[in-house]
Structures are given as C-alpha cells and as structure tokens.
C-alpha cells in the first residue's frame, strides 16, 4: 500500500514538473524574463497585444509609457514633455481616424445595417474595457445559425 502511494506521488510530481517545463518562456519583466540585446528596448507588460496589455484611461497609458521610456532611456524633463505631447497627439489622431472610418462605413450601409453596425460598435467598446474587443470578440463573429 505504501509503495503504491509513493509511486502515485512520484508520478504526480513527474507530470507536474513536465507541465511546468513545457510552458513557453515569459515575455515582459516577470519571472523567467531574461534581458538580452535583442529585447533590451522591448516594452514589458502594458504594451502591444496580448494578456499583458494595459487597459484603462488613455492618459494613464501615456503616463505609463513616458515613465517606461524615461526609465529605459534616462530621459530628461524636456524630453519627457516632448514625448508625452507626441503620444497625446498620436492618440487624438487615432481617435479621429477611428471616428472618420466608422462614419465612412456607416455611409454605405442601409438603415438596418446601420442599426446593427451601431450595436457592434457598442459591443466593441466594451472590449476596450476588458471584454473581447473588436479583433477577436463577438462584435464581428458570424451570427449563430437559426434553429429550425
């Protein structure tokens, strides 16, 4: 009986160790992150796509990015101010372009399509606050087939 318990315990440990070692290396600054010349200026959590992407207020994201660049590049106050202004301008342009694109799309849709499109826009906005979002979420997923 004791030999069986010991064998099961060692088997469980072996399976757990194999699963732990099979995980891909961590990206960002967490455990397992190793700084190399290739990733020296790659942002950690909070930038880019994926689960580490920072959510929230655009002003907070800009401040975080300026802080990140200040740490990595040893920016002085004047540089920080100029970079923050550039990031704020880029954000404003992105918001304006997004709205212009939505208006152009809406202009070619009929009334029923426009209504659906506005519903999609509403659900996509939720994605920016932690939900699925526009790219992979329910906003553009094909409708489920009707049940007969």
Longest dimension (CA), the chain: 75
Position 11 scores a pLDDT of: 75
What global pTM score does this model have?
A: 0.49
What average pLDDT does range 49-78 have in this prediction? Answer: 83
Between the CA of residue 134 and those of 12, 120, 140, what are the distances in Å? 41, 9, 7
pLDDT one-digit tens code per residue, 88-107: 999 999 999 999 998 999 99
Position 34 scores a pLDDT of: 53
């Amino acid at each position: 009986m004791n030999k069986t318990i010991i064998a099961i315990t060692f088997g469980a440990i072996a399976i757990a160790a194999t699963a732990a070692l099979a995980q891909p290396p961590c990206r960002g600054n967490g455990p397992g992150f190793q700084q190399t010349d290739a990733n020296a200026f790659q942002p950690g959590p909070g930038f880019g796509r994926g689960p580490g992407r920072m959510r929230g207020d655009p002003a907070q994201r800009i401040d975080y990015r300026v802080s990140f660049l200040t740490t990595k590049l040893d920016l002085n106050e004047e540089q920080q101010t100029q970079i923050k202004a550039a990031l704020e301008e880029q954000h404003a342009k992105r918001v304006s372009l997004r709205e212009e694109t939505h208006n152009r799309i809406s202009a070619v849709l009929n009334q029923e399509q426009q209504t659906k499109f506005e519903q999609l826009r509403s659900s996509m906005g939720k994605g920016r606050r932690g939900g699925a979002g526009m790219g992979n979420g329910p906003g553009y997923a094909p409708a489920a087939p009707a049940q007969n």
